[in-house]
Structure 1
């Protein structure tokens, strides 16, 4: 697998999460964080939405970031003109490709779609814009029509085609085959835009990259419509540790940006969340803590230090003697085999009753009561 470009859409698709609304300072902080990580492209908003959205987009452009700043548009010349007025030199334009959306959403047909995309791309090219062209709901569209559309995009000067799994119904196998076919037949760069309705956004995005997709859409902590989009943190870390892709991303900034977006969006980072959840590096069971103490690689896919996180070994219902001996040793406390046995039994009982793990200070206090 080759390296790829991340086009993060936290400020566009991510902000479309019901109830999420970022302030100007929050948006500026988020794009700076994305740029610091090394995200190559940022979809920063929809200028045609109104004066405020346009002003915010302009402020982001004026930051002079390394990332390409992209404005999202419907396939309407008036939308594109609004983006140009806001300072955009790169645009994403989108039209539905599935028959259900063409007919029931737009009340149009396939010929209208083809004619409209030609007209709008030609306008964009005449304004010297970088043009990415999306196919909304492409995963439910006729594949022959999708490839025909992608060829039109290439012929009229579009830089790439965005293959959108708008309602999240793809699986990694069909994603791989379809993306590979589009690339081979249309000879155009492909971007994958995956939704997480069945928990497959990350897997589908990686499958698309494996098939040759050059770009992938992400959002921080997987924000987005319904179940969200492919999470930035999962795509970055999985591509490195599952596929061994060498990238230029600063992984140490991912956790802090995720926490910031979590606070700004009002969406909590669940403890069991992949990659950045605290339980990723929290170990309780005796088998696991024993293995971790001997070599962290026994039960961790990557070092938590990569994300600026720390490993936690805790005592609970499933703990063994090893973790208790480790805690006692680290605090310079003496113990016997019988002391550890009694301490383990007491700790398990308390943990089971309280339905939580014990912290180190609680273990030490328990030790003192037993050792007397």
Structure 2
């Protein structure tokens, strides 16, 4: 047996990697020191750092119609079709939003899926998420789907405490299900649920090895979706498994030979790390990150799709054909047509994301919008910067609002010393001197501007 081999990945001599075998333990490994439950979870470090290995082709996949529907009232068929069209437009001609997944159990979801397929878009490719049964495999195959997600929970919390199985029993069950999926003519996408609480070398790697063997034997690609189901993943270099995002991605590649294009990261935002964990997964070798529009999903939500659009642009220096102005269109549609209320402070889509209240900020914005605006939001998102009018707005804030309004009316700008601006400021001041404590609305300002302009 060779101990040292030339790697076809790094082109360096490496020790022949250890082949991990399933560790069929009698008691579940719950990592109680990391996850004490009655205390906050702990982040342990072993200082083992793995190399960054970003794939040449990185992209986004979507779960708006699957995970995104599990924490809100269901979308109508018409809403799903419209949002699918917007995803297609946002992702652009190069398929940056590569796939989106649907449920197929209700008539409404199946109808939406079929109507979306009738559009004939190459991207996003429509996939499904189903129960692991032959009946469901035949159902999605008859619809014309080529890839489907299969739940294969991999932590002992799920294997022992939820399903009542041993690791060997779970492994055998999962491999049988995946074989049935391949036999039905479908590409399996294996959802490694709760991977950030799983025994990585005792179950995850041996299971991934078996899946890659099955893939080679059948000549069918088997995708692994690494699911940070509870948001426990951390991006820190040197963090210990099972919480290390970089360690998980590196381990799947190095010990199980899973190619980048077959690794997908699916994160949640329970500890505010959804976006940075997804970016870390990209940087260490996962080709795709799974997201939902506006981050809507289980509990604290999924990775916001619009966030990863800008993460991609930041890392690669271009948008690769993505149309970012569609993000604003999506946000407006979600609020007006689906009844979802976007928290106003939400980056890129919230009402206040490029709005300033302080008068000193407004004064800076009048001189140069770049001082207080993160980028040219008007060009990139079709959202010009705005100010809200309160008791702290000052003359500069009033002048900014007046000139923004006049721009929409096709009128020239006015200096903040103009009589009209002064009268607007005097009216605002009188409102707060009279005891008002709320923000003055655009409707009130437009009405007062019209009165003063007459």
Normalising by structure 2, report the TM-score: 0.71
- Matched with 1:138 is 195
**CA shift digits 1:243-301 (9 cap, x unpaired):** 64543321111121233234454320122111111211112213322332232222222
What does 1:135-214 correspond to in 2, within 5 Å?
135-144=192-201, 145-157=203-215, 158-173=221-236, 174-188=244-258, 189-214=262-287
Query: Residue by residue, what CA displacement relative to the aligned partner does 1:303-343 show, whole Å, maximum 9, x if unpaired?
Result: 2221222221333333344334554883578548xx69x84
Q: Which has the higher helix share?
A: 1
Which secondary structure does the structure 2 equivalent of 1:353 belong to?
A: coil
Matched residue of 1:7: which SS?
A: strand
**Larger deviation, residues 261-270 vs 219-228:** 261-270
Residue matched to 1:44? 102
- Does the aligned pair in 1 maintain the 2:399–2:415 contact within 8 Å? no
Structure 2 residue runs without a partner (length 5+): 1-53, 92-96, 216-220, 237-243, 404-411
Distance 1:153 1:29 in 2: 36
Bigger shift: residues 233-242 or 251-260: 233-242
CA drift of 1:43 comes to 0.5
Residue in 1 that maps onto 2:67? 13
Structure 2 matches for 1:8-157, cutoff 5 A?
8-17=62-71, 19-38=72-91, 39-45=97-103, 47=104, 49-67=105-123, 68-144=125-201, 145-157=203-215
Distance 1:288 1:209 in 2: 36
Is structure 2 residue 343 aligned with structure 1 residue 270? yes
Instruction: Supply the distance in 2 between the matched residues of 1:347 and 1:323 (Cα, whole angstroms).
Output: 16
The residue that corresponds to 2:391 in the other structure is: 317
The answer as to whether partners of 1:286 and 1:318 remain within 8 angstroms in 2 is yes
Change over 3 Å in CA distance of 1:55–1:203 after alignment to 2: same
For the pair 1:225 / 2:298, whether they are aligned, the reply is yes
What is residue 308 of structure 1 aligned with on the other side?
Answer: 382
How far residue 110 of structure 1 moved from its aligned partner, in angstroms, is 1.4
Deviation string, structure 1 residues 199-224 (Cα, Å, up to 9, x no partner): 22122111211222111111111111
Flag the 1:170–1:355 CA change in 2: closer, same or farther, 3 A: same
For 1:307 and 1:89, the matched residues in 2 are separated by 34
Correspondence 1:239 to 2:312: yes
Query: How far off is 1:118 after superposition?
Result: 2.2
Distance in 2 between residues matched to 1:187 and 1:276, nearest whole Å = 39
Whole-angstrom CA distance in 2 between matches of 1:153 and 1:352:
68
Question: Structure 1 residue 260 and structure 2 residue 330: aligned?
Answer: no
Inter-partner Cα distance in structure 2 for 1:172 and 1:279 = 29
**In the alignment, is the contact (CA less than 8 A) between 1:317 and 1:352 conserved in 2?**
no
- Return the match for 1:355 from 438, 441, 445: 438
Secondary structure at the aligned position of 1:280 is classed as coil
Shift of 1:364: 9.7
Task: Structure 1: give runs of 5+ residues left out of the alignment.
Answer: none
Q: Compare 137-146 and 307-316 and name the one that shifted more.
A: 307-316
Residues 166 and 194 in structure 1, CA contact (< 8 A), matched pair in contact too = yes
8 Å CA contact 1:315–1:347 kept in 2: the answer is no
Distance 2:332 2:393 in 1: 30
Normalising by structure 1, what TM-score? 0.86
CA distance in 2: counterparts of 1:15 and 1:364, whole angstroms = 40
Distance 1:313 1:3, change over 3 A: farther
